[in-house]
Amino acid sequence: MSASAQPSPWVALGPGHSYKNMMTKHVLLIIGGGIAAYKSLFLIRELSRRGISSQVILTKGGSQFVTALSAGALTNKPVFTDLWELDETGDMGHIELSRSADLIVVAPATANLLARAAQGVASDLASTTLLATDKRVLYAPAMNVRMWEAAATQRNVQTLIDDGALFVGPDAGDMACGEFGEGRMAEPEAIADAVEAALMGDTSLDALREPKPLAGQSALVTAGPTREPLDPVRYLSNHSSGKQGYAIAQALADLGAEVTLVSGPTALPAPLGVTRVVVETAEEMLAACEDALPANVFVSVAAVADWRPATRTDKKTKKPKDGPAPLELVENPDILKTICAHKKRPELVIGFAAETHDVVKLARAKRLRKTCDWIVANDVSGDVMGGDANAMILVKEDGEESWPRMDKRAAARKLAREIAKALK
């Protein structure tokens, strides 16, 4: 079993100065059409000073204020403005542009860009990239105070926050339009601080405008499959990818919870700002969970193998000459049930029920059998296991709520908000 606190320790050198370990990070910077665009050139310099490289998408509006030549010279990389010109560059596409980035930064984020991003309108390279990305997006809004305060803009900002976006600024002050108020883009140093914090998984900086309803609460999440070895080369396991559990751990951390993720073997990187404990077997998973208590909430997402081989040999088991396969199984501990009966039982315990038929009926029975508070039921007869989407049914004591099929990360954020409401 190995514990890896993610990310590795870093050193704050004071406001506006560099944290360590940024050398390999890369940001895709979308420069929108606002007078603050000139500050984004300073942002490129500031990021590069901190060891963070960037590549620029310049919107049509942005190119009215700064040139592709200056952005390209500062980043040392081609600048893209048009959705269609990418095809000519071979591999490079809007998907590829965001795939190679650790974070997307939109600065200045105009009211128009925010509106299109919130609505999922893909009308140019910038908005298409924002719709197509699975990376975190940090917006640095810049606009006239009345536009910023407009109900529509505030609605869009809230939608983007609900979708997992981060915000830095805007600041209050004198504006280029001659008015005074909130709407001025955050200074490059402050944006760079927020970029570093987001890259390190710290979304709790005051600069990042995201509600933290789970601040001060702790969460324990299990994810992935368990692997039950027979001998040094064989094991019993299942198809769980860990995606849903990892997304829930990330969503809870994003809402301010201190999260321990006990994970079976997966191919996934540790979620940002989450302490991950990697285990292999169900017994190790139970021990790691008990070690992580107390916690305010336990979300049991792992697809724990119900059985393990009765014996585990140090040498590879040889095929018997005749007779049946030598595979005797014993039952694994039920982690969810054990934690429900634990003297340090978290105040909210949530199980998952992966079913292929009679989903709600079986989930209701499972909730009672395991004595957990909620069960999230999902129909795994399709492509849920290993896939990116999930249609969940939240089963509580007083009834069920069906959620539409959505991306696993969106489902995780919805569940995290439900948890935050329940723990309030």
Residue ranges in contact with ligand CTP by CB under 6 A = 222, 282, 300, 302, 304, 306, 332, 334-336, 351-354, 366
> Looking at beta carbons only, is 313 or 371 nearer to ligand CTP?
371
Q: Any catalytic annotation for residue 177?
A: yes
> Looking at beta carbons only, is 228 or 258 nearer to ligand CTP?
228
Residue 141's nearest CA partner among 26, 37, 16 is 37
Please, what is the minimum distance in Å from the beta carbon of residue 313 to ligand CTP? 23
> Looking at beta carbons only, is 87 or 347 nearer to ligand CTP?
347
Sign of the alpha-carbon torsion through 199, 203, 207, 208: positive
Which tokens go with 169?
């600024």
Please, what is the minimum distance in Å from the beta carbon of residue 263 to ligand CTP? 12
Please, what is the minimum distance in Å from the beta carbon of residue 370 to ligand CTP? 6
The helix or strand, by DSSP H or E, that contains position 41, with its residue range, turns out to be helix 37-49
> Looking at beta carbons only, is 125 or 335 nearer to ligand CTP?
335
Query: What is the 3-state composition of the chain as percent helix, strand, coil, each rounded to the nearest 5?
Result: 35, 25, 45
Strand partners, 390: 406
The per-residue DSSP string of 229-284 comes to EEETTEEE-----SHHHHHHHHHHHHTT-EEEEEE-S-SPPPPTT-EEEE--SHHH
The per-residue DSSP string of 325-363 comes to ----EEEPP-HHHHHHTSTT--SEEEEEEEESSSHHHHH
Residue 353's nearest CA partner among 330, 332, 331, 369 is 369
Please, what is the minimum distance in Å from the beta carbon of residue 334 to ligand CTP? 4
Cα–chain-centroid distance for residue 162? 12
Please, what is the minimum distance in Å from the beta carbon of residue 259 to ligand CTP? 16
- Closest residue to bound ligand CTP by CB: 335
Q: CB count, 10 Å around CB of 174?
A: 10
> Looking at beta carbons only, is 107 or 285 nearer to ligand CTP?
285
Please, what is the minimum distance in Å from the beta carbon of residue 134 to ligand CTP? 25
> Looking at beta carbons only, is 146 or 369 nearer to ligand CTP?
369
Query: Are the beta carbons of 395 and 377 closer than 8 angstroms?
Result: yes
- Annotated active-site residue in 177, 289, 340, 372: 177
The helix or strand, by DSSP H or E, that contains position 421, with its residue range, turns out to be helix 408-423
- Which residues are known catalytic residues? 177
